[in-house]
Amino acid sequence: MAHTLEWKCRLHLFEDDGTTKARLGLDTGTAELTGHGTAHCSPADADVPEIGDELAAGRALDDLARQLLRTAERDIEGMGAPRPETRENAAWSL
């Protein structure tokens, strides 16, 4: 059985008092998740906005990925699969 979906993501980056903030929204069509990330520019660092954007976006992606993995774990358990004894045994380990 073929299965094709399109999930939509929107990444918003903004700066506030030397802190770059990222908000990443994921719409799967049946659920919406939001990942968040921040990056702070030290006063001693050169001001390179692209680096702050990359760090904040990467952290938002990481946050969203962890949320997706936790959701999948709950769904797998909801199907009756027992929780693994250790993370090493979990196909979906975080």
Identify the domain containing residue 64 by its residue range. 8-40+50-77
Give a yes or no: residue 82 inside a domain: no
Count of structural domains, the chain: 1
Give a yes or no: residue 61 inside a domain: yes
Give a yes or no: residue 70 inside a domain: yes
Q: Specify burial of residue 43 (Cβ count, 10 A radius: 0-12, 13-18, 19+).
A: exposed
Give the residue carrying structure tokens 């006063």: 43
Distance CA 10, CA 25 (A): 5
Give a yes or no: residue 22 inside a domain: yes
Asked if residue 38 lies in contact with residue 20, where contact means CB atoms within 8 angstroms, the answer is: yes
**How does pLDDT run across 19-51, given as a tens digit for each residue?**
999 999 999 999 999 999 999 988 898 888 999
What is the residue-averaged pLDDT of the chain? Answer: 89
- Where helices occur in the chain by DSSP H, the ranges are 49-78
Asked if residue 65 lies in contact with residue 46, where contact means CB atoms within 8 angstroms, the answer is: no
| CATH at 33 | 3.30.160.240
**How does pLDDT run across 80-91, given as a tens digit for each residue?**
877 767 665 555
For residue 58, the SS3 value is: helix
